[in-house]
Copies of this chain bind each other. A is one copy, B any other.
């Protein structure tokens, strides 16, 4: 599978989140060319403000692997991670971060405190952005437009 294939799986998760009435963000964790875990935003479903797509996927992968670090694994997510998720990706020692749309309102990678650039960040993944950017932004725009019309 290729990078666009993995991002397509992240988009499936984002679409499922939207169908549940959750902010549509999806994530997938990949190791050795295979999907290890995938998840969408579940903050409402779980009544858990920390259940962003990235955190759902990280916790699932850690549980499956029985370890608190995901060294060598890559994360694909449809939206720029927030500060919480950026820090979690760092704590999990992930290898690469691929994300879709930028998030000027809530992002923590190229916006806000830019977590990975701080001296308090002790591991940073290689970062690739813009993969599926238009689709990700459209998905969010449609979701929030629907909310306003409702």
Write the residues of chain A forming the contact surface with B, with a CB cutoff of 8 angstroms. Answer: 43-44, 46-50, 55, 58-59, 62-63, 65-69, 82-88, 91-92, 104-108, 111-115, 118-122
Q: How far is the CA of A86 from the CA of B86 in the complex (A)?
A: 12
Q: How far is the CA of A84 from the CA of B62 in the complex (A)?
A: 17
Q: Are B108 and A87 in contact (CB under 8 A)?
A: yes
A95: shortest Cβ distance to chain B, in Å? 14
Q: Are A112 and B113 in contact (CB under 8 A)?
A: yes
Residue of B nearest to A117 (CB): B113
A83 touches which of B62, B65, B68, B108 (Cβ 8 Å)? B108
Knowing A83-B113, A113-B83, A113-B113, the reply to whether A50 touches B88 (Cβ < 8 A) is yes
Residue of B nearest to A121 (CB): B112
The secondary structure that dominates the A interface is: loop
Q: Which chain B residues lie closer than 8 Å to A112 at the CB level?
A: 113, 115, 118-121
Q: Which chain B residues lie closer than 8 Å to A69 at the CB level?
A: 49
A13: shortest Cβ distance to chain B, in Å? 18
Besides the contacts A43-B68, A50-B91, A104-B120, what 20 more A-B pairs have beta carbons closer than 8 Å?
A44-B68, A47-B62, A47-B68, A48-B62, A48-B68, A49-B58, A49-B68, A50-B55, A50-B58, A50-B88, A83-B83, A83-B86, A83-B108, A87-B87, A108-B113, A112-B115, A112-B119, A112-B120, A113-B118, A113-B120
Q: How far is the CA of A46 from the CA of B69 in the complex (A)?
A: 12
